[in-house]
Copies of this chain bind each other. A is one copy, B any other.
Amino acid sequence: MDGVLSDTYAQYIIWYERDSGIKKTREDVIGKPELEAFPKVREYLYTDGFFRTAPVIADSQKVLARLQEQYEIFIVSSATEFPQSLTEKQAWLGEHFPFISWKQMVFCGSKTIIQADIMIDDHLKNLDHFSGETFMFSQPHNLLWQGPKHKRVNSWLEIENTLL
C-alpha cells in the first residue's frame, strides 16, 4: 500500500517542508532508506493523520479497478508497527479505492505469511520472501537496486501493460 498505492514520498516531502522549511525532491533522496532521507519520518509514522491524508499514486485507482475485473486482488499493508495507522489505512482505502472491500484487506507486520501468485511491492524485504511472481514498484529508496530476481515497474501504466 505505502509506496505502491499511497504516495508516501509525496507525504514525506509535504510534511518535511512544513516542519523544516526545506523542500526535498525525490531526486535528492535516491538510494537512501526512507528513515535516512527524511530525518523525522519515524515520528511521522506514529503521528495521527499521516497515513490518512497521504496522496494517491498516479493511475493506481483506474488500473487497480481494471485489474480487479481479471484478478483476485488483496491489499496487504505493513501496519501493525504503527497501531494508529490501522483504522487510518482502512478509511483511506475506503475513500480512494471504494471498490476494494474489507474482505480484500490485510494489515500485518511481516508479509512472509502471505501466499498469492503475484506481489507488487517497493521493498526487497517483502519481495524476497515471496514464492510467486514479484514486481518491484520503483521508489527513490529502491532505485539503485538492480537484479534479475524481481521485475521492475515504474508506474501503474506499466503494470497495466504487463498484466492486462
Contact = CB atoms under 8 A, between A and B. Distances in A.
Contact of A113 (B74, B81, B87, B91): B74
B90 A87 contact: no
Interface in A94-121: 101-110, 113-116
A127 interface: no
B109 A80 contact: no
A86 interface: yes
A134 to B, nearest CB: 15
Contact of A103 (B87, B105, B109): B109
| Identical chains bound together, number | 2
Nearest to A106: B108
A109 B115 contact: no
Nearest to A89: B86
Given A86-B86, A86-B107, A102 B80 contact: yes
A11 to B, nearest CB: 21
Interface of A: 74, 76, 79-81, 83-84, 86-87, 90-91, 101-110, 113-116, 131
